[in-house]
Homo-oligomer: A and B are copies of this chain.
Amino acid sequence: MLKGISPLLSPDLLRAIAAMGHGDELVIGDCNFPAETMGKHCIRADGVRGTEILDAVLGLFPLDTFVEAPVTLMKVVPGTLDGDPPIWNDFRSIVDKHQKNVKFGWIDRFEFYARAENAYGTVATTEQALYACIILTKGTLL
């Protein structure tokens, strides 16, 4: 335990987000995401929700202001879900809490995988909501 640091930020996750530089990407994967095959580092967060990790990470992690959308979600594969996944509203609220005027982007499933493969790392949560994977692009402290 450290003063003012969420206990959800494991030593490995803390190390990862500190080591990342401008433009590096962190994936927060849900329970179905192939986390261990993506990115240079896979950091386990078993028993933890994606929303919880997102909130803890954004307490320290600045989102990129140099790109249009520093938060990226996976588009719903046609025919798999009616309407938007409810968890996207939760992601929106959490992001808004930490940083103002952040735009979200959406990409297809396999484009999402390609981005994730090039990411700095992936947090493997056990979030059970559908379409609950999210890519965060790291910014700078202005």
Contacts and interface: CB of A to CB of B under 8 A. Distances in A.
Nearest to A12: B15
Interface in A42-73: 59-62
Interface in A81-128: none
A2 B9 CA distance: 13
Interface in A1-56: 1-5, 9-12, 14-19
Contacts of A16: 11
Q: Majority SS of interface residues in chain A? A: loop
Contacts of A61: 2-3
Interface residues of A, number: 21
A112 B140 CA distance: 40
B15 A15 contact: yes
A77 interface: no
Nearest to A3: B60
A124 B30 CA distance: 39
B15 A11 contact: yes
A1 B140 contact: yes
Closest 10 CB pairs of A and B: A15-B15, A11-B19, A11-B18, A2-B60, A11-B15, A1-B141, A14-B18, A3-B60, A14-B14, A2-B18
